[in-house]
């Protein structure tokens, strides 16, 4: 039986946020029985559908249905602007009973120019005394050092497992199990939308149809040019480089080329030569610091990355003591992303208890 209630404020309530609240419901008995806590949603903020706050808890499943059926929250005339979400975080924090643990779940779209407003949301949440879990790449890609130092100084957690490769444990693995290992570099296929498009083109499907499938499935970024132009992969590369290589960079420091210029003829030609085209993200320590890159590459078929089809992603991590570790995700998607948030929440609960 749960003896701890954890209040949640959901900043962003799109595909990921809604799958997350349904996963909380599906795993409710598990969380209470095994980990001794019950999450309770006290605030939801969206961009264009208004926001809702209830210090005594609100019906998040009904809220998800409402949004999906085109019903806005009552507050909708006051469209949430970035600064409003910070205000909502502060209001929800102030309204909770003294000592009640509070977690902000940040799932707004990535703004590749600055990482904002997500970085501001995370900072505001930490300053309001909340632990933060986020699926957004922005905070780790643009402000990893600052936000980690802020969280540490306040005794709070800032976690973002689902920002790269959905819920597959990468950051948790590095933090928990690579404590005495030096990571020298990484290389991977980390963007599902472009990998699906390249795989579909390899099978003769049209580029536009393959992209539309990813949009329908809720996998493509809110603005799909972020995927196609390599920005999403660059943001993941920056986050990985910041965490694994202590790079202190932003996505704008990553050398980047997307897949927009790749044609079906290019893919056929590569196939005729026994090679496959993949969007490869990489980072490595060098004498001068760290280099990072995202670009389409023709890979020989014996390369592990060449064999990833559709939504499959993989990351190779080169280390000094363990050689090369390969983490492969065969099935990515919203459930896996929501699971990454859930595993972060369980870690927060463990810290609180």
Closer to ligand NAP at the Cβ: 306 or 308? 308
Which candidate, 305, 227, 290, places its Cα nearest to that of 255? Answer: 290
Cβ-count burial 154-190 (b if 16+ within 10 Å, e if not): eebbbbbbbbbbbbbbbbbebeeebeeeebbbbbbbb
In angstroms, the CA 328 to CA 189 distance is 9
Closer to ligand NAP at the Cβ: 7 or 86? 86
Of 179, 203, 236, 293, the active-site residue reads 236
Residue 338 · residue 20 · CB < 8 Å? yes
Q: Which stretch binds ligand NAP (CB under 6 A): 33-41, 105-113, 274-282, 322-330?
A: 105-113
Bridge partners of 45? 11, 51
Dihedrals φ, ψ of 135, to 5°? -95, -5
Q: Smallest distance, Å, CB 320 to ligand NAP?
A: 30
Q: Which stretch binds ligand NAP (CB under 6 A): 80-88, 147-155, 238-246, 273-281?
A: 80-88
The enclosing H or E element of 286 equals strand 275-286
Pick the binder of ligand NAP from 8, 9, 11, 281 (CB under 6 A): 11
Residue 236 annotated in active site:
yes
Q: Which stretch binds ligand NAP (CB under 6 A): 13-21, 238-246, 258-266, 276-284?
A: 13-21
Dihedrals φ, ψ of 13, to 5°? -145, 55
Pick the binder of ligand NAP from 36, 55, 57, 82 (CB under 6 A): 82
Q: Smallest distance, Å, CB 98 to ligand NAP?
A: 27
Other residues' Cβ atoms within 10 Å of the Cβ of residue 20: 32
Pick the binder of ligand NAP from 60, 133, 183, 219 (CB under 6 A): 219
Asked if 128 touches ligand NAP (CB under 6 A), the answer is: no
Residue 25 · residue 61 · CB < 8 Å? yes
Closer to ligand NAP at the Cβ: 166 or 229? 166
Residue 89 · residue 128 · CB < 8 Å? yes
Asked if 143 touches ligand NAP (CB under 6 A), the answer is: no
Tokens 């701890």 appear where?
4
Q: Smallest distance, Å, CB 46 to ligand NAP?
A: 4
Asked if 55 touches ligand NAP (CB under 6 A), the answer is: no
Asked if 211 touches ligand NAP (CB under 6 A), the answer is: no
Which strands sit side by side in the sheet containing 4-11, from one edge to the other? 51-53, 37-45, 4-11, 102-106, 131-134, 158-159
In angstroms, the CA 249 to CA 236 distance is 11
Closer to ligand NAP at the Cβ: 52 or 318? 52
In angstroms, the CA 107 to CA 105 distance is 6
Pick the binder of ligand NAP from 24, 42, 80, 201 (CB under 6 A): 80
* Residues in region 163-202 near ligand NAP by CB under 6 A: 166
Asked if 218 touches ligand NAP (CB under 6 A), the answer is: yes
Residue 4 · residue 322 · CB < 8 Å? no
Determine the residue with CB nearest ligand NAP: 14
CA geometry: angle at 190 spanning 275 and 309, to 5°? 45
Closer to ligand NAP at the Cβ: 42 or 219? 219
Q: What amino acid positions are annotated as catalytic residues?
A: 236
Contact residues for ligand NAP (CB under 6 A)? 11-17, 45-49, 80, 82, 85, 107-110, 117, 135-137, 162, 166, 218-219, 221-222, 334, 337
């Amino acid at each position: 039986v749960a003896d701890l209630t954890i209040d949640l404020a959901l900043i962003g309530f799109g595909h990921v946020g809604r799958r997350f609240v349904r996963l909380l419901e599906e795993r409710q008995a598990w969380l209470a029985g095994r980990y001794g806590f019950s999450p309770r949603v006290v605030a939801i903020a969206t961009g264009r559908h208004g926001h809702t706050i209830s210090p005594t808890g609100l019906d998040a499943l009904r809220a998800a249905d409402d949004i999906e059926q085109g019903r806005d929250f009552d507050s909708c005339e006051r469209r949430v602007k970035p600064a409003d979400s910070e205000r909502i975080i502060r209001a929800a924090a102030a309204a909770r009973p003294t000592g009640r643990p509070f977690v902000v779940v940040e799932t707004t779209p990535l703004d590749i120019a600055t990482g904002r407003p997500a970085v501001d949301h995370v900072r505001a949440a930490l300053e309001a005394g909340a632990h933060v879990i986020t699926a957004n790449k922005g905070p780790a890609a643009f402000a990893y050092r600052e936000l980690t130092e802020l969280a540490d100084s306040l005794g709070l957690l800032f976690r973002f497992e689902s920002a790269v490769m959905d819920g597959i444990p990468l950051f948790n693995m590095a933090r928990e199990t690579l404590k005495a290992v030096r990571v020298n570099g990484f290389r991977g296929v980390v963007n599902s939308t472009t990998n699906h498009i390249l795989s579909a083109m390899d099978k003769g499907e049209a580029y536009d149809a393959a992209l539309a499938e990813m949009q329908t499935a809720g996998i493509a970024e809110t603005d799909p040019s972020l995927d196609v132009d390599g920005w999403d992969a660059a943001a993941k590369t920056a986050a990985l480089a910041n965490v694994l290589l202590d790079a202190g960079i932003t996505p704008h420091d990553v050398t980047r080329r997307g897949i927009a210029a790749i044609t079906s003829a290019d893919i056929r030609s590569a196939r005729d030569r026994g090679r496959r085209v993949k969007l490869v993200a990489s980072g490595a320590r060098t004498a001068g610091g760290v280099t990072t890159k995202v670009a389409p590459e023709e890979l020989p078929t014996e390369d592990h990355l060449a064999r990833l089809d559709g939504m499959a992603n993989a990351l190779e991590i080169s280390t000094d003591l363990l050689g090369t570790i390969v983490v492969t995700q065969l099935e990515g998607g919203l459930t896996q992303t929501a699971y990454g948030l859930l595993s972060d929440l369980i870690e927060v609960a463990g810290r609180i208890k």
